[in-house]
Amino acid sequence: MGLRTHNGNTAKPAKGRGAGLNVEGRFEQERRETFDDGWDTLAQEEERALKTVVTPIQAKSIIARNNSPDVPFTQSINPYAGCEHGCIYCYARPTHAYYNLSPGLDFETRIFAKMNAAQLLRAELSKRGYQVDPIALGANTDPYQPAERELKITRSVIEVLAACDHPLTIVTKNALVERDLDLLAPMAQKNLVRVFVSVPNLDHDLARRLEPRASAPARRIESIRRIARSGVAVGVLVAPVIPFLTDHQIESILQQAYAAGARRAGYVLLRLPYEIKDLFKDWLQQHFPLKAAHVMSRVQAMREGKENDANFGSRQRGTGEFAELLRQRFEMACRKLGYDGERGDRDLETGLFAAPGGDPQLALF
């Protein structure tokens, strides 16, 4: 089992990283290959490349909007581009191609922090005609990835939303979310917030390979418990469901999450858009070579013979007999346990919103 470089050579596996490749993004016109020049520079370069580099940037805008019919929100904020959690299946990986960086190792080692997120948000919410709708934190990359512990960009965004009673939802797989319960609990009393913890798997050894720098599965279940005890509505996302690797754990995840206090639940079938297909298949060969063919065969059976389905409606759940059985299992388990329903943001309070005040310096004139 080894880490493949661009020219197919093998190297020492990257400890604590998800991707085993650093393939070019789909917009790049050149292809790079590493080679051993006999001076040991290859090993030195790989060591440097695997260190996490967080680059502060000044974003031009902060609220992303979408009208996708199968996404339960219309507005989202991603305080970071790239994610150190390194989840091999992350559907956000291809977005790093817009930075001329690889969706592979670059995505989890080259992080961009939007330092002016709170200021941009305050200005956006102050615009005349702004339409209130819940803002989702963590739609693309995790808002509580390791860099957040020091930079606190996500916290600054929540502070703005809390100050003007704006509804929000949070999706994370990091226990760091507990740090901000002092802000979230008062918002919950006004029905302004809901937190979802992503728990696709309970096996710690598998999680260490699948999501190398996210909180351990048991720790995420404990986060659900602590969030619920604080009075904040909390749900669980079984996402993604991976055939032959995690699909057998659906009922156990739902049971443990419900016992901890989760009352809403959702799931998403493994998605493999763009470069993720090759990254995931390489990961399978590295970690589960005897299962790789079976996993991909089942994925194709649930994607009409393809490795990915980009169509609205079916891209989240798949199609065919196996996808239907998966849906039935999930819904039956939720009914049996007593879940209130799937993820939904429409019942959060929107009528309390008060736009942030203008620049306090202007009041002096």
Q: Where are the alpha helices (DSSP H) in the chain?
A: 41-49, 105-109, 117-125, 148-151, 153-163, 181-188, 204-210, 217-229, 250-260, 276-287, 292-301, 321-337
Q: Indicate whether 289 belongs to any domain.
A: yes
What single letter denotes the amino acid at residue 334?
Answer: C
Residue-number span of the structural domain to which 182 is assigned? 20-27+50-346
Q: Indicate whether 192 belongs to any domain.
A: yes
Q: What is the pLDDT of residue 11?
A: 45
Q: Indicate whether 6 belongs to any domain.
A: no
Shortest CA distance to 88 belongs to which of 273, 285, 276, 294? 276
Q: Indicate whether 307 belongs to any domain.
A: yes
Angle at 81 between CA 78 and CA 87, to 5 degrees: 100
Q: What is the pLDDT of residue 68?
A: 83
Structure tokens at 349: 């309070």
CATH value at residue 218: 3.80.30.30
Beta bridge partners of 276: none
Q: What is the pLDDT of residue 50?
A: 78
Q: Indicate whether 176 belongs to any domain.
A: yes
Q: Indicate whether 183 belongs to any domain.
A: yes
Number of separate domains in the chain = 1
Is there a contact between 356 and 126 (Cβ–Cβ < 8 Å)?
A: yes
Q: What is the pLDDT of residue 174?
A: 98
Q: Indicate whether 178 belongs to any domain.
A: yes
Is there a contact between 82 and 112 (Cβ–Cβ < 8 Å)?
A: yes
The values of phi and psi at residue 286, to 5°, are: -70, -45
Q: What is the pLDDT of residue 3?
A: 42
Q: Indicate whether 250 belongs to any domain.
A: yes
Q: How far is CA 220 from CA 151, 256, 260, 309, 338, in A?
A: 22, 11, 10, 29, 20
Structure tokens at 29: 């016109």
Q: How far is Cα 176 from Cα 187, in angstroms, rounded to an integer?
A: 18
Q: How far is Cα 282 from Cα 103, in angstroms, rounded to an integer?
A: 13
Sites in the chain below the pLDDT cut of 50: 1-12, 29, 35, 37, 42, 359-365
Q: What is the pLDDT of residue 10?
A: 39
Structure tokens at 274: 């763009």
DSSP letter (8 states) at residue 56: E
Q: How many CA atoms lie within 13 A of 115 on its CB side?
A: 6
Q: What is the pLDDT of residue 49?
A: 52
Shortest CA distance to 91 belongs to which of 200, 169, 6, 208? 200
Q: How far is Cα 265 from Cα 248, in angstroms, rounded to an integer?
A: 17
Q: How far is Cα 301 from Cα 321, in angstroms, rounded to an integer?
A: 8
Q: How far is Cα 156 from Cα 115, in angstroms, rounded to an integer?
A: 10
Q: How far is Cα 176 from Cα 179, in angstroms, rounded to an integer?
A: 6
Shortest CA distance to 84 belongs to which of 58, 47, 110? 110
Structure tokens at 58: 């000044």
Angle at 113 between CA 110 and CA 114, to 5 degrees: 145
Structure tokens at 36: 């051993």
CA terminus-to-terminus distance, the chain: 68
Q: Where are the alpha helices (DSSP H) in 211-264?
A: 217-229, 250-260
| Strand arrangement, sheet containing 64-65 | 64-65, 75-77, 135-137, 168-172, 193-198, 233-241, 264-269
Structure tokens at 281: 């298949």
